[in-house]
Amino acid sequence: MSTESNLTKPSAEEEASGVEQTRSGRCYRPSVDILENEDELTVLADVPGAAADRIDVKFEEGTLAIHARVEPRQPEDTSYAIQEYGVGDYYRTFRVSEAVDAGKITAEYNEGVLILHLPKTEATKPRKIAVKSP
Amino acid sequence: MVFRSFYPRQPLGQLRHEMDRLLSGFFAQPPGSWLAGGREQPAVNVWDTQDALKVELEAPGVKKDQVDISVVGGELSLRVERPEVEQEGVTYHRRERPVGTFTRVLRLPADVDAGKVQAELAGGVLTITLPKAESAKPRKIKVKAVS
- Say if strands B75-82 and A50-60 run parallel, antiparallel, or are unpaired: unpaired
Model pLDDT for residues B41-75, shown as the tens digit of each residue: 789 999 999 899 999 999 999 999 999 999 998 89
pLDDT, position A2: 36
Q: How far is B3 from chain A (nearest CA, A)?
A: 22
- Tell if the CB–CB gap between A33 and B46 is shorter than 8 Å: no
Phi, psi of B112, rounded to the nearest 5 degrees: -120, 160
Question: Is the pLDDT reported for residue B9 higher than 90?
Answer: no
Cβ atoms of A65 and A126 within 8 Å: the answer is no
Does domain B42-134 correspond to CATH entry 2.60.40.790? Answer: yes
Kindly give, in sequence order, each residue whose CB lies less than 8 Å from that of residue A26, ignoring residues fewer than 6 positions away.
A18, A20, A86, A87, A88, A89
Tell me the residues of chain A between 63 and 102 that have a Cβ less than 8 Å away from chain B. Answer: 73-74, 78-85
Judged by a CB distance cut-off of 8 A, whether residue A11 touches chain B is: no
Distance separating alpha carbons of residues B71 and A100, to the nearest angstrom: 50
pLDDT, position B23: 53
Instruction: Give the nearest partner residue to B61 out of A34, A74, A112, using CB atoms.
Output: A112
pLDDT, position B21: 56
**Which has more pLDDT, A120 or A19?**
A120
- Tell if the CB–CB gap between A111 and B90 is shorter than 8 Å: no
Beta bridge pairs of residue A94: A4, A64
Residue B50 neighbours by CB distance under 10 Å: 7
Cβ atoms of A93 and A32 within 8 Å: the answer is no
Identify which of A30, A41, A35, A33 has the alpha carbon closest to the alpha carbon of residue A8: A30
Instruction: Give the nearest partner residue to A113 out of B90, B93, B124, using CB atoms.
Output: B124
Handedness of CA A86, A87, A88, A92 (dihedral sign): positive
Exposure string of A46-85, with b = 16+ CB inside 10 Å and e = fewer, is bbbbbeeeebebebeeeebebbbbbeeeeeeeeebbbbbb
Neighboring chain B residues of A35 at a CB cutoff of 8 Å: 87, 90-93
pTM, rounded to two decimals: 0.71
Judged by a CB distance cut-off of 8 A, whether residue A49 touches chain B is: yes
Model pLDDT for residues B130-146, shown as the tens digit of each residue: 999 888 777 788 899 98
**Class of residue A114 by CB neighbours under 10 A (exposed 0-12, middle 13-18, buried 19+):** buried
Cβ atoms of B82 and B99 within 8 Å: the answer is yes
pLDDT, position A132: 80
Most distant CA atoms of chain B, gap in Å: 87
Domains of chain A in start order, with CATH, are: 2-8+17-124 (2.60.40.790)
Domain boundary assignment for chain B = 42-134
